């Protein structure tokens, strides 16, 4: 793997690591450091995304190919993969500090959702609600206007992973998912399933590369003897073990760790959308392409509302857990297990890129308690997961047959892969 030569505007790649004092001084001197990776698609500056062959702006994603298609001349093409375009697969073991791509920059507190664009073709002013959409059609000249410039409200990411599953395919996945769980499914759900309500939505994620070292301290037990004694009518088993103090340290890199970019989805709401959407991970983020709002024509989108700084603890948690599984292989001799009592992670460097990932969503409101339930389909892999309303008497019956009693099951999340 080769390391891209450091450019002057990428100070985080340059030279030896700064000491903490130097870093603080640098941060003070330049409080608004420029993003380290510039990802704005300059060729789309005017917001009219034209077909490279005929110049029409009637461009949208063709789901079955994952490519952009011109509805006028049927020409198909795609944007370059960001992996190669911005060197995102490279130099993870050399990362220093926090490298942030321009689309993952901090969200301005006063940034509005509603943006007014001047149509470059006819001069009319067109409003785009960037919380849900990044295209609008000019009502005068019918050109499609696209939000291609990164705006400080989190709506324009660095990259987009285009839908690949068509709506028909998603509807089939959802149907199959629901019918496989027919025993548990609410009667009304079956009766009221409306494929038209299956919506394609791009959800915001932060995709992270990192270089880290983690350390763990704890105790491990090795069994030395085991015996059984008769006590009255009972037989009691005893064991003897040696207890060792131990520590482990591991250095590693992670490539394309994916975390939620929406605080509403990341926190646990009543319907636990977070669980469902996260349970259709992973996405083939390596195939994400350069931002072009034409990929969003006909889809809705949800804007990112968390900053990199706020997600750092989430990254650290995930790194600690990756490190724990990395050291597990060296703990074989502790046959009675290891208990970690203290752990620590040092993130040597991290690189953050914001990305829209494609999900087909079906929502259903349960009449009895008003809860919203979802079935989500990963629009790249077809992985399907959902929380479908539970029919309580039926579930109890099913549970008894396997000898298990479940409590509090109304609205429980059924997790299984399609």
| E strand map for 261-325 | 289-290, 300-301
| Chain-centre distance for alpha carbon 362 | 18
- Specify the residue, 145 or 155, whose C-beta has the smaller distance to Zn ion: 145
Bridge partner residues of 289 (DSSP): 81, 160
Q: Quick one: which of 37, 44, 48, 51 contacts Zn ion (CB under 5 A)?
A: 51
- Measure the N-to-C terminal CA separation of the chain; round to a whole number of Å: 37
Of 53-61, 102-110, 238-246, 257-265, the window that binds Zn ion (rule: CB under 5 A) is 53-61
Q: Which helix (H) or strand (E) holds 213?
A: strand 199-231
Contacts of 231 (CB under 8 A, 6+ apart): none
- Stretches 72-80, 169-177, 178-186, 377-385: which one binds Zn ion (CB under 5 A)? 72-80
Q: Which residue of 25, 26, 54, 114 would you call a contact of Zn ion, by CB under 5 A?
A: 54
Binding mask 222-251 for Zn ion (x = CB under 5 A): ------------------------------
d(CA 81, CA 88): 10
Cis peptide before 164 (omega within 30 of 0): no
C-alpha–C-alpha distance, residues 213 and 295, integer Å: 38
Question: Judged by CB under 5 A, which stretch of 46-54, 180-188, 221-229, 268-276 contacts Zn ion?
Answer: 46-54
- Site of tokens 């073991």: 93
| Least distance between Zn ion and beta carbon 311 (Å) | 39
Q: Does 67 bind Zn ion (CB under 5 A)?
A: no
Shortest Cβ 119–Zn ion spacing (Å):
3
145: exposed, middle or buried (Cβ count in 10 Å: 0-12, 13-18, 19+): buried
Nearest to Zn ion of 17, 123 (CB atom):
123
Judge contact between 306 and 229, C-beta under 8 A.
no
Candidates 10, 75, 253, 307: give the one binding Zn ion (CB under 5 A): 75
> Phi and psi (nearest 5°) for 371?
-70, 140
Smaller CB separation from Zn ion, 117 or 217: 117
Taking CB under 5 A as the rule, does residue 53 contact Zn ion?
yes
Q: For residues 138 and 178, which CB has a smaller minimum distance to Zn ion in the complex? A: 138
Question: Running DSSP on this structure, what letter comes out for residue 65?
Answer: T
- Interface with Zn ion in residues 116-155 (CB under 5 A): 119, 121-122, 124, 138, 140-141
The region of 51-59, 173-181, 298-306, 341-349 touching Zn ion under the rule CB under 5 A is 51-59
Stretch that binds Zn ion, among 18-26, 62-70, 106-114, 252-260 (CB under 5 A): 62-70
Please say whether the beta carbons of 164 and 284 come within 8 A: no
Positions in the binding site for Zn ion (CB under 5 A): 51, 53-54, 56, 70, 72-73, 75, 119, 121-122, 124, 138, 140-141
């Amino acid at each position: 793997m080769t390391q891209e030569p450091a450019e002057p505007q990428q100070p985080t790649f340059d030279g030896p690591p700064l000491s903490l004092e130097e870093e603080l001084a640098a941060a003070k001197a330049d409080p608004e450091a420029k993003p380290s990776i510039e990802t704005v698609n300059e060729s789309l500056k005017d917001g009219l995304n034209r077909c490279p062959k005929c110049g029409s702006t009637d461009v949208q994603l063709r789901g079955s190919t994952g490519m952009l298609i011109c509805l006028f001349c049927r020409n198909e093409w795609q944007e370059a993969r960001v992996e190669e375009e911005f060197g995102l697969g490279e130099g993870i073991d050399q990362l220093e500090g926090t490298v942030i791509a321009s689309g993952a920059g901090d969200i301005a507190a006063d940034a509005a959702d509603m943006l007014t664009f001047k149509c470059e073709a006819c001069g009319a002013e067109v409003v785009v609600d960037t919380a849900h959409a990044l295209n609008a059609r000019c009502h005068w000249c019918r050109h499609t206007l696209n939000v291609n410039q990164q705006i400080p409200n989190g709506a324009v990411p660095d990259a987009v992973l285009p839908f690949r599953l068509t709506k028909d395919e998603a509807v089939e996945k959802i149907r199959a998912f629901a019918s496989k769980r027919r025993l548990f499914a609410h009667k009304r759900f079956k009766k009221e399933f409306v494929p038209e309500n299956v919506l394609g939505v791009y959800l915001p994620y932060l995709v992270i590369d990192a270089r880290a070292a983690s350390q763990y301290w704890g105790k491990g037990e090795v069994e030395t003897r085991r015996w059984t004694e008769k006590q009255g009518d009972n037989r009691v088993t005893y064991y003897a073990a040696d207890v060792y103090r131990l520590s482990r340290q591991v250095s590693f890199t992670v490539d394309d760790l994916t975390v939620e970019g929406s605080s509403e989805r990341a926190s646990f709401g009543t319907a636990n959308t977070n669980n469902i959407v996260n349970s259709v991970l992973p996405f083939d983020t390596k195939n994400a392409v350069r931002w072009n709002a034409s990929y969003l024509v006909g889809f809705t989108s949800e804007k990112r509302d968390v900053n990199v700084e706020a997600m750092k603890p989430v990254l650290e948690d995930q790194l600690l857990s990756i490190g724990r599984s990395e050291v597990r292989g060296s703990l074989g001799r502790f046959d009675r297990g290891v208990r970690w009592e203290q752990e620590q992670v040092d993130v040597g460097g991290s690189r953050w890129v914001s990305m829209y990932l494609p999900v087909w969503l079906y929502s259903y409101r349960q009449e009895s308690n008003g809860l919203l339930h979802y079935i989500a389909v990963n629009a790249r892999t077809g992985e399907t997961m959902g929380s479908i309303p539970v029919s309580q008497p039926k579930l109890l019956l099913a549970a008894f047959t396997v000898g298990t009693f479940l409590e509090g099951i109304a609205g429980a999340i059924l997790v299984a892969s399609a």
